[in-house]
Amino acid sequence: MSYFTTSDGAEIYYTDQGSGQPIVLSHGWPLSSDAWQVEIKRFTDAGYRVIAHDRRGHGRSSKVIDGHDMTTFAKNLSELIEHLDLHNIVVIGHSTGGGEVVRYAAQFGKGRVAKVVTAGAVPPIMLKSESNPEGTPIEALDDIRANVLKDRSQFWNELSVPFYGANRPGQDVSEGLKQDFWRQGMLVGLAAAYDCVKAFSETDQTEDLKAIDVPMFIAHGDADQIVPIAAAAQKSIKLVKDATLKVYPGASHGIWGAYQDELDQDILDFIKK
């Protein structure tokens, strides 16, 4: 097990496997680097060096009380990448991790990042407003915060259902997959779980997307019940200079099953271009 200490004293757990061009993976909320286990194997088998970390407050990283905002997440990622002296990097982020890698690439990663990939990512901004009517209402986000405080264990159980689309007809989501979501959720510190809601929903990353000057692949399921595609991928594609958008029919927010198989191959194909 490897740990790195950030400039503000947070201990960040990470795994570093394989050799070759580096791929850096950033997980979604409330998960950990364990969410990327399949990708770690597939990408290392394909000849890449793969690094995945647990965001501050999540997984095996220290349960710090503060710094649960998109800029601090990206700065921590930058410090880890500098610690490992990585160059020509492909950064990949899911959900909140998509916001993290977009901010990293735009504000911290110039000269190090070769390509950016996001899946079900939160940029440009998730919160519903007059200028973003497709977004998520603040009342729904407040409900998330209330449930995290009230009974987070039960909430993770319930959230796993729409996360993986298990409430849709014909979706064979295993109990094991939902239980693993619960397991990873229970490892996140309460402060991080609560504060990240504001970070992933209210951070406006419009300018970050405009600043990305490397090729970007944007993936999103059209059955995503967590991050509305109309407020996210369909707007992001209009802001990035050199981007490709692929919409996966019937795919959920969570990456699993046939969606995972197709997405992983698409990522490998995109890297090789």
Q: Which residues are within 8 A (CB) of 170 and not within 5 positions of it... i.e. 6 or more apart?
A: none
Distance CA 201, CA 123 (A): 9
Distance CA 222, CA 182 (A): 24
pLDDT at 1 over 90: no
Q: What local confidence, expressed as pLDDT, does residue 146 receive? A: 98
Q: Does the reported pTM lie above 0.75?
A: yes
Q: Which residues are within 8 A (CB) of 100 and not within 5 positions of it... i.e. 6 or more apart?
A: 26, 55, 70, 73, 74, 77, 93
> Which residue bears the tokens 């790195």?
4
pLDDT at 170 over 80: yes
Mean pLDDT of 90-113: 98
Name the catalytic one among 27, 224, 236, 252.
224
Give yes or no: 224 in active site.
yes
Q: What local confidence, expressed as pLDDT, does residue 43 receive? A: 98
The domain ranges of the chain are: 2-272
Look at strands 49-53 and 11-17 and give their pairing.
antiparallel
| pLDDT tens-digit series, residues 189-207 | 999 999 999 999 999 999 9
Give yes or no: 222 in active site.
no
Report the CATH superfamily, name and number, of domain 2-272. Answer: Alpha/Beta hydrolase fold, catalytic domain (3.40.50.1820)
| pLDDT tens-digit series, residues 109-163 | 999 999 999 999 999 999 999 999 999 999 999 999 999 999 999 999 999 999 9
Beta bridge partners of residue 248, listed in sequence order: 221
Which own/partner pairs from 176-184 qualify as long-range (CB within 8 Å, at least 24 positions apart)?
177/254, 177/256, 180/34, 181/31, 181/156, 181/254, 182/153, 182/156, 182/157, 184/30, 184/31, 184/32, 184/34, 184/35, 184/59
Name the catalytic one among 95, 201, 236, 252.
95
Give yes or no: 201 in active site.
no
Q: Which residues of 212-249 are buried (b: 16+ CB within 10 A; e: fewer)?
A: bebbbbbbbbebbbbbbbebbbbbbbebbeebebeebe
Q: What local confidence, expressed as pLDDT, does residue 100 receive? A: 98
Q: Exposed, middle or buried, 204 (CB in 10 Å: 0-12/13-18/19+)?
A: middle
